[in-house]
Amino acid sequence: FFFFLMIRRPPRSTHCISSAASDVYKRQADMGSRAQTGALALEEMVGGTFSISNCGAYGALLSTPLINVPQSAVMAIHSVKSRAVMANERVEARPMMYLSLSYDHRLVDGREAVFFLKNVKELIEDPRKMLIDI
């Protein structure tokens, strides 16, 4: 099973930067359905520049994702679990999720990668920002 996870190639979604989030979601849903039935073409699984790995689907709390060569970066999204945090001067149980980002320093500056990850965190914390493009 682990070997399968290491060699699989996820479907590639193109032109995401210039597409509405709803369009990207529709394309990904279509590609996911076709991937499950074996109807994806090889061309749809190669040529990407960035991957998102849903490690949380397998129960992972934290991992270091490996870059799929020749891509420049990969972000892993992990499980949401309750954690003790300080809020309003007391300890409360709050949902927490880890994100991790691996990137090729020859192509991506560390400062920009951190700003990207911070932006993703803020969008996850308040998804309304994705709809109104704040």
Indicate which residues carry an active-site annotation. Answer: 105, 109
Give CA separation, 51 vs 25, 34, 93, 94, in Å.
Answer: 15, 19, 31, 28
Q: How far is CA 80 from the centre of its chain?
A: 14
- Asked if residues 132 and 96 have their Cβ atoms less than 8 Å apart, the reply is no
Give CA separation, 134 vs 111, 112, 120, 128, in Å.
Answer: 21, 19, 13, 9
